[in-house]
Structure formats: structure tokens, C-alpha cells
Amino acid sequence: MKLSELLADVPVRSTRGSLAIDVAGITADSRQAKPGDVFLALAGREVDGHRHAPQAVAKGAAALVVERELPDLAVPQAVVPNTRQALALMAAAFYGRPGRRLRVIGVTGTDGKTTTSTLIASILEAAGHTTGLITTVAAKIAGRDWDTGLHTTTPDPLDFHRFLGQMAQEGLRYAVIESTSHGLDQDRTLGAEYDVACVTNVTHEHLDYHGSYEAYLAAKAKLFRALATTYRKPGVPKVSVLNADDDSYAQLKDFPGDVNLTYGIDRPANVHPLDLSLSVDGIRLRAATPAGEVAVASPLLGRYNAYNLLAAIAVAVSQGVRAADIAAGVAAVRGVVGRLERIDLGQDFTAVVDFAHTPNSLRRMLELARQLTTGRVIVTFGCAGLRDWEKRPAMGEVAARLADLTVITSEDPRTEDPEAIMAQVAAGADRGGGREGETYWRVADRAAAIRFAVDLARPGDLVVATGKGHEQSMCWGTVEYPWSEHEALRQAISERLARDKR
């Protein structure tokens, strides 16, 4: 493909050399550059890709896209205002602008994005619409799962548009995309051509990156702002779906679509429950919608999943899906990997893996856990290093107030001191009435912490390991080590059962 074709949607300030050259591929990693590639110099917080452009050229890069001209490098160059935006738009062009051939649904929010996205995709499939799905767990395309990487929020633009390209090539009709604040802020999904924007909720998270709640919400709002600026597909309206019960509603309603739907339980909304039953067996919900009543039954648990169901129903209604197909699609979702997922080896207590890693999600999960057992609730969790430090004491306080016993541990400490992180969590636990050595403990080794929690359990108790969920690695220092919360919990239970038989 010609470099000029790749840059067709990119504002170019100046050029040096011919843009009519053929390029074989696109890369933003100088170490991965191959002969004939175009290298984009991304200016990051810690690394400036312009410094690595000579390495890319030495490895055969045929052209550069930069934010400032590099006169010492004798290859064609295009100077653009923002190389991150250029990367996404060029990736979209490279894969044939697949977002223009798909109906694209974006789901953003702090909690519930993966579950809501999964529900929407299942509903669309039940209605006979071939559908691809990109979440933080995996990408699902034509019956195949594709790994999206370690600690992934939204895939990088090249992987993201490659996934969309595969969906378009397979002839799929819909793409459902879990759209994270990092991905939106860094323009990883630019060129996706969203048709539907849906939000679950916006609470305290990622302030280490965004700096403030207002900046975090502004990143989420980019999904809704895109409704007014992205490519318009003939006969396909732009749809906004908002949570009327969430604080984000007041700001996000200022970014309307052609069709605007709200959902909620407590406040007036277009999609709301007429009957709602929450039990240990799941959720039964009869909802009023602009298209008539919709009744669903789901094995998912808790009030927060009722919100996820309402969001998915609202999106489905916006796409003209019949009530019967909505019900079938909801029923087909038995659960999501790492979300309140039970590990049962025949032990006399309940063991669960969850992904709750914010104060709000931890609170909701522990409130639900209390309903699932007549015994004690035992939770083990940590807080990530080099991430939002303000939430650490808040999570400790939530755990101390809502769990009977808490084991504070490590969760991707990265280059921070795990003991210092745990101390911040413990300070919150003290504030919540916890007593170290009696109701909470600190165990830095996560596998040991899970064993400790399992060994505390009595018959009828519930043990939950939360914060890692589906993730397959743990970051210590700058190295990602293999990790499975499921396997760690299984191993701890197996050891406990083996001891109990002696």
C-alpha cells in the first residue's frame, strides 16, 4: 500500500521526500521494524519514539511518520500533529477501514464493561446477527478466541484494527468493543467508526493516569463525542445509551446521538424494571422499554449485574432486537471468566475468583457475597503498584467493613515496595474497624495469601480471591511472571483437602 493512501485520513503538516512509496507494514516499535515498514515515532510519558527512529531505519524502515522532522535520517517523512492518532487512522486504512463495514458498539465505564459487552454480543448472536467481540479478556471472532495480551485494557491500534479487519473479512455484521478509558484517551480505537456508545458507570479509578475524576470522565466521554464525528453508515443511526442512576449521566447527556436511551433502577429511565428479583440463583427481570416489555432470566448475580442486563437490553432495543431474542441471548451467558467464578473441588466452603479491583466493585461484590453464604466472608486482594494510590485505603476500609476476615496481599506491585502498598491498604482497614492479626492480615506473597485465606475457612464460609480475575501474569519489578488466580486457588484448596484427609 502507498504511504499516501495510509495517510489519507491523517492531517499532515509537512513532508520530506515522496509519499508515493510502497510500504509493507506499520510499526511503532523500532525493535520490530522490518524492511519496507513505515515507523511511527510515538511520544510517550517516559519514552520518545523519535529517539529510536534511527534504529528503525537501520532495520529497513522505508519511511517515518513523526511529530518533528528528523533531518539526519534520509528516508521519506510525514510530520503530523499527533503520531498516536496517526497510528490508529493508518492502521484502520491498512486493514481496509473495517469499522465502516461493521456496525460498531462501544461499551465504556469503570465496572461491568466486560459483562455488558458479552451480554450484548450474545443477544445479537441470538437474533441471528454475526457478531465479533473485543474485551479485556479476549477477542472473539467467528468462533475463535484471540489473546489480547497481558494487563490489556483496549488493544493497541494495530491489533485493534487487525481484529476489526478479520471481523469484516469474515462478513460479520456487528463488532462489540469494550472501550476503556486508557484506550479512548490514547486514541487506540480512533477509526473504529462507532455507531452505539454505552456507559455502565464511572467511579473512582485510574486517577494515577488521568489525574482527576473530571479527566477520567472526559476520557470516557470521547466515546460519546465520537458519535458526532465518526463515519456515517447509510441508514444506521448513532445511538447513546446512558445510566440514569449514575453520576456520569449529568455530563454525558451533553453528547447526544440520533437516538438517546437511558436505563436505570432508581431514577426515571427509558429502560427500567417493572419486576426485579435478585436471588442466589440469579436475576429475573421484566423491563419496560420503548419497544415494549422484555422479560429475561439470568444466572448472573447481584444488583450490579441487573444494571449490566438493563444496559444490554437498551442497546439491543436500539438495534431492533425482538424480546424473545433478547431473552435467549441473556440466558446463554452463564458467566464471564474471572467474574464471580466458583472453584469447586468438593470442599465444604465456597471459593470464588473475581475481578473486583476498585472500591465500588469491591463493595458490590462483598455485599453480594454476604447474600451467598450463611457463614463468614473471607476476602484476599491487593492494590496494583504504580497505579491509583488514593483507592488503596478506600479498598482496605471497604473490606474491613463488609468482610469478616481480610487477607491483604500483592497485586502487580511493579517497582513499588509491596509492603508499602499493603501498609496503605491496612491503614484503610484500621479506619474501617479492622484489627490486624484478628480480622485482617498482611501476606505479601499472593499464592501464600490465598492459601492463608483458604486455611481460615470453616464449613459454610465463602472465600473470594479478587483483583486478578482472568489475568494471566503478575508484574514484579519490570518482569511479567505467569500467574493464574484460578490455579492458585485450586492448589490451595487441593492442599487443604489433602491435609484434611490425613
Same-domain status, 360 and 320: no
Res 101 pLDDT > 80: yes
Cα separation, 111 vs 295, whole angstroms: 24
The whole-model pTM stands at 0.86
- Judge whether 469 lies within some domain: yes
Same-domain status, 233 and 187: yes
Task: Count up the domains in the chain and report the number.
Answer: 3
3-state SS, residue 471: coil
> How would you class 279 by CB atoms within 10 Å of its CB: exposed for 0-12, middle for 13-18, buried for 19 or more?
exposed
- Judge whether 88 lies within some domain: no
Which cell is 285 given?
A: 427481570
Domain end residue (candidates: 48, 83, 118): 83
- Judge whether 89 lies within some domain: no
54-58, 147-151, 290-294: segment of lowest average pLDDT: 147-151
pLDDT of residue 97: 98
Residue 58 makes CB contacts below 8 A (sequence gap 6+) with: none
pLDDT of residue 163: 95
- Judge whether 306 lies within some domain: yes
pLDDT of residue 205: 56
Q: How many CB atoms lie within 10 A of CB 291?
A: 17
Asked if 424 and 418 touch (Cβ cutoff 8 Å), the reply is no
Q: Cα–Cα–Cα angle for 72, 76, 77, nearest 5°? A: 75
pLDDT of residue 155: 87
- Judge whether 142 lies within some domain: yes
Same-domain status, 433 and 308: no
- The mean of the pLDDT values for the chain is 94
Asked if 273 and 310 touch (Cβ cutoff 8 Å), the reply is yes
Same-domain status, 322 and 304: yes
Same-domain status, 418 and 362: yes
For residues 481, 487, 492, 496, the Cα torsion angle rounded to the nearest 10 degrees is -150
Q: Cα–Cα–Cα angle for 452, 456, 462, nearest 5°? A: 105
Closest by CA position to 339, among listed 328, 352, 326, 329: 352
Cα separation, 232 vs 100, whole angstroms: 8
Same-domain status, 29 and 102: no
Closest by CA position to 414, among listed 363, 345, 354, 481: 481
Domain end residue (candidates: 50, 83, 116): 83
Same-domain status, 403 and 457: yes
Cα separation, 395 vs 493, whole angstroms: 26
pLDDT of residue 450: 98
Domain end residue (candidates: 306, 332, 358): 332
- Amino acid identity of residue 427, one-letter, is A
> How would you class 231 by CB atoms within 10 Å of its CB: exposed for 0-12, middle for 13-18, buried for 19 or more?
middle
Which cell is 30 given?
A: 523500532
Cα separation, 331 vs 334, whole angstroms: 7
Q: How many CB atoms lie within 10 A of CB 479?
A: 9
> Residue 302's domain is classified under what CATH number?
3.40.1190.10
Each residue's pLDDT tens digit, 206-235: 555 556 778 888 888 999 999 999 999 999
pLDDT of residue 182: 85
> Residue 409's domain is classified under what CATH number?
3.90.190.20
**In 329-426, beta strands by DSSP E:** 341-342, 350-354, 377-381, 405-408
Cα separation, 97 vs 393, whole angstroms: 45
Range of the domain at 230: 95-332
pLDDT of residue 43: 87
Same-domain status, 263 and 380: no
Res 434 pLDDT > 60: yes
Same-domain status, 284 and 168: yes
- Judge whether 90 lies within some domain: no
Each residue's pLDDT tens digit, 352-361: 999 998 898 8
Report CA 227 to chain centroid distance, whole Å. 20
- 267-to-202, 243, 244, 317 alpha-carbon distances in Å: 17, 9, 6, 19
* Range list of H helices, 175-302: 181-185, 207-210, 213-225, 249-252
Same-domain status, 356 and 299: no
Asked if 469 and 339 touch (Cβ cutoff 8 Å), the reply is yes
Rg (CA), the chain: 24
Cα separation, 378 vs 399, whole angstroms: 9
Same-domain status, 265 and 136: yes
Which cell is 498 given?
A: 489433602
- 322-to-131, 270, 289, 316, 489 alpha-carbon distances in Å: 17, 16, 11, 8, 41
> Residue 78's domain is classified under what CATH number?
3.40.1390.10
Res 281 pLDDT > 90: no
Q: What proportions of the chain, in percent to the nearest 5, are helix, strand and coil?
A: 35, 25, 40
- Judge whether 157 lies within some domain: yes
Asked if 173 and 162 touch (Cβ cutoff 8 Å), the reply is no
Each residue's pLDDT tens digit, 420-433: 999 999 999 999 99
Same-domain status, 294 and 380: no
Res 106 pLDDT > 70: yes
